[in-house]
């Protein structure tokens, strides 16, 4: 299920209204009956509507549902993508669509461009896409879910991520600039950097390690726990620092010998749909998981073990009470992403096994090797060979094919009603 941007060019304004009609009907009908589509599209029934329905079905923006008691259609992810992209385009947020750079379990990441030519990131949330790791446990659940639920949940994930990114950014955290949110998608600044996962060497791991732990503590001081703080969700920017007091150049190339002391490494944090409040019932578990993810990764990858224990949740909490930042968990609630929405999303994510990259990364490790006992010697070698930088669920051929397909695409100017 990738963004199929090719279909975007061929819609007439009638098609577009019918598509909007199917979307509106999908909110409370699992299968939207054809007469309702006519009515909601605001077009007079007859051959026009039927022709549009048939066009939309041919391009997979809607799908006919056969086994229903009545004839009808449902919106597909492709249809929802179309509507969201169209809105971004109308608001002049996105001008053209480029390569897909990531296919995660619960999202697709696409490079898009603004009319000025500057590149941006479009993140498309796909909650309810069947994860191959959880197919067995969730098949029944997913069979019974309706279109409304995946659409709604993916939209909640996008809303949540956007709200947190905005609040974090406004309060000085190093996160991409959030630009727009529509339906199940967000548009944000493109960070020109590799995820930590792809960095094979860091000259001063202790400095980066303590900076990352400081970020975890600083988030807590603002009432938040990331919940998926790991090597995929930390991008490492290299900033050239002419004063020469940097922490040294990171290297994605294992052979690079020299480290450049003029380059400072700057972590940028991404991926916020699973962020929780410091008051969450499982806050301590999430906090420890974030901390241990980094500890464990630094040990395995950079053979660095800190001689300072912690940080511990109790200390973070104490610091939060003594020297609190603004409560961003509360601020986000006030911004429209309510506590009720947060609960709905959390329940759904648990049910479909959406455990973020942390879960994926753990599975990944478990598959690569038996690493219950940390026998570092062996791991060292395997780690060297293993250098594949894809996230689980992402296949490079898949990404390449889709990049080709999306190349040179421009979103149609004429599809809005």
Ligand X SMILES: Nc1ncnc2c1ncn2[C@@H]1O[C@H](COP(=O)(O)OP(=O)(O)O)[C@@H](O)[C@H]1O
Q: Mind telling me the catalytic residues?
A: 228
Q: Which two tokens stand for residue 390?
A: 């894809």
Select from 25, 104, 203, 246 the one that contacts ligand X (CB under 6 A): 104
Select from 270, 283, 316, 341 the one that contacts ligand X (CB under 6 A): 270
Q: Which two tokens stand for residue 362?
A: 């753990």
Residues lying near Mg ion in the complex (CB under 5 A) are found at: 232-233, 271, 357
Select from 49, 85, 167, 190 the one that contacts ligand X (CB under 6 A): 190
Provide, rounded to whole angstroms, the least separation between the CB of residue 235 and ligand X: 6
Give the residue with the Cβ less far from ligand X, 189 or 368: 189
Give the residue with the Cβ less far from ligand X, 104 or 311: 104
DSSP state of 198: G
Give the residue with the Cβ less far from ligand X, 25 or 102: 102
Q: Which two tokens stand for residue 273?
A: 């749909």
DSSP-based three-state secondary structure for 226: coil
Interacting span for ligand X (CB under 6 A) from 228-236, 291-299, 309-317, 330-338: 228-236
Is the bond preceding residue 311 a cis peptide, omega within 30 degrees? yes
Number of residues that bind ligand X (CB under 6 A): 19
Which residue from 274, 252, 286 is spatially nearest to 107, judged by alpha carbons? Answer: 274
Residue identified by tokens 């048939």 is 54
Find out whether 184 and 80 touch, Cβ atoms under 8 Å: yes
DSSP state of 103: E
Name the closest residue to Mg ion (Cβ): 271
* Residue 227 binding: pick among ligand X, Mg ion, none (C-beta 5-8 Å cut-off by kind): none
Among positions 16-35, residues that touch ligand X (CB under 6 A) are none
Select from 106, 346, 355, 379 the one that contacts ligand X (CB under 6 A): 106
Provide, rounded to whole angstroms, the least separation between the CB of residue 360 and Mg ion: 8
Give the residue with the Cβ less far from Mg ion, 134 or 233: 233
Q: How far apart are CA 208 and CA 206, in angstroms?
A: 6
List CB contacts of 36: < 8 A, sequence separation 6 or more.
21, 25, 29
Select from 59, 100, 107, 251 the one that contacts ligand X (CB under 6 A): 107
* Residue 208 binding: pick among Mg ion, ligand X, none (C-beta 5-8 Å cut-off by kind): none
Which residue from 191, 129, 123 is spatially nearest to 159, judged by alpha carbons? Answer: 123
Provide, rounded to whole angstroms, the least separation between the CB of residue 254 and ligand X: 19
Is residue 233 a contact residue for ligand X (CB under 6 A)? yes
The dihedral over CA atoms of 394, 354, 290, 225, expressed in degrees to the nearest 10, equals: 130
Is residue 357 a contact residue for ligand X (CB under 6 A)? yes
Residue identified by tokens 């990364």 is 361
Phi, psi dihedral angles at 272 (to 5 degrees): -115, 10
Give just the sign of the alpha carbon dihedral 187, 128, 232, 156: positive
Q: How far apart are CA 242 and CA 244, in angstroms?
A: 5
Interacting span for ligand X (CB under 6 A) from 182-190, 303-311, 344-352, 371-379: 182-190
Is residue 121 a contact residue for ligand X (CB under 6 A)? yes
Give the residue with the Cβ less far from ligand X, 123 or 327: 123
Find out whether 72 and 34 touch, Cβ atoms under 8 Å: yes
Interacting span for ligand X (CB under 6 A) from 143-151, 189-197, 259-267, 311-319: 189-197
Find out whether 247 and 204 touch, Cβ atoms under 8 Å: yes
Give the residue with the Cβ less far from Mg ion, 197 or 327: 197
Interacting span for ligand X (CB under 6 A) from 106-114, 237-245, 362-370, 401-409: 106-114
Give the residue with the Cβ less far from Mg ion, 159 or 269: 269
Is residue 191 a contact residue for ligand X (CB under 6 A)? yes
DSSP-based three-state secondary structure for 176: coil
Phi, psi dihedral angles at 4 (to 5 degrees): -100, 95
Cα-only R_g, the chain: 23
Find out whether 235 and 270 touch, Cβ atoms under 8 Å: yes
Is residue 123 a contact residue for ligand X (CB under 6 A)? yes
* Residue 290 binding: pick among Mg ion, ligand X, none (C-beta 5-8 Å cut-off by kind): none
Name the closest residue to ligand X (Cβ): 104
Residues that bind ligand X in the complex, under the rule CB under 6 A: 102, 104, 106-107, 109, 121, 123, 176, 188-191, 195, 232-233, 235, 270-271, 357
């Amino acid at each position: 299920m990738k963004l199929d941007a090719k279909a975007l060019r061929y819609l007439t304004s009638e098609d577009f209204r019918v598509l909007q009609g199917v979307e509106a009907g999908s909110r409370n009908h699992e299968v939207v009956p054809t007469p309702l589509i006519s009515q909601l599209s605001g077009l007079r029934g007859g051959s026009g509507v039927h022709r549009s329905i048939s066009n939309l079905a041919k391009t997979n923006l809607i799908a006919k549902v056969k086994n229903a008691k009545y004839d009808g259609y449902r919106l597909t992810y492709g249809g929802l993508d179309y509507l969201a992209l169209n809105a971004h385009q109308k608001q002049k947020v996105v001008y053209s669509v480029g390569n897909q750079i990531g296919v995660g379990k619960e999202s697709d990441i696409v490079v898009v461009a603004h009319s000025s030519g500057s590149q941006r990131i479009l993140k498309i949330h796909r909650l309810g896409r069947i994860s191959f790791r959880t197919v067995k446990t969730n098949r029944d659940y997913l069979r019974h879910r309706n279109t409304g639920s995946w659409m709604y949940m993916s939209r909640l994930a996008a809303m949540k991520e956007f709200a947190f990114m905005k609040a974090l950014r406004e309060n000085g955290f190093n996160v991409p600039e959030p630009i727009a949110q529509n339906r199940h998608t967000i548009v944000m600044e493109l960070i020109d950097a590799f995820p930590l996962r792809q960095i094979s060497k860091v000259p001063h791991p202790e400095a980066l390690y303590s900076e990352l732990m400081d970020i975890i503590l600083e988030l807590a001081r603002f009432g938040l726990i990331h919940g998926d703080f790991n090597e995929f969700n930390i991008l490492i920017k290299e900033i050239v620092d002419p004063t020469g007091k940097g922490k040294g150049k990171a290297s994605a190339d294992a052979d690079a010998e020299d480290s450049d002391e003029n380059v400072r490494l700057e972590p940028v944090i991404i991926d916020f749909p699973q962020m929780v409040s410091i008051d969450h019932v499982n806050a301590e578990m999430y906090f420890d998981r974030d901390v241990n993810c980094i500890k464990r990764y630094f040990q395995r990858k950079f053979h660095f073990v800190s001689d300072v224990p912690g940080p511990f949740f109790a200390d973070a909490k104490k610091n939060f009470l003594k020297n609190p930042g603004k409560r961003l968990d509360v601020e986000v609630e006030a911004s429209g992403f309510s506590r009720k929405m947060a609960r709905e999303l959390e329940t759904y994510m648990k049910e479909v096994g959406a455990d973020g990259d942390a879960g994926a990364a753990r599975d990944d490790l478990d598959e690569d090797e038996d690493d219950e006992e940390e026998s570092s010697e062996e791991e060292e070698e395997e780690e060297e060979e293993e250098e594949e930088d894809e996230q689980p669920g992402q296949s490079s051929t898949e990404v390449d094919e889709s990049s080709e397909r999306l190349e040179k695409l421009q979103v149609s100017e004429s599809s809005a009603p």
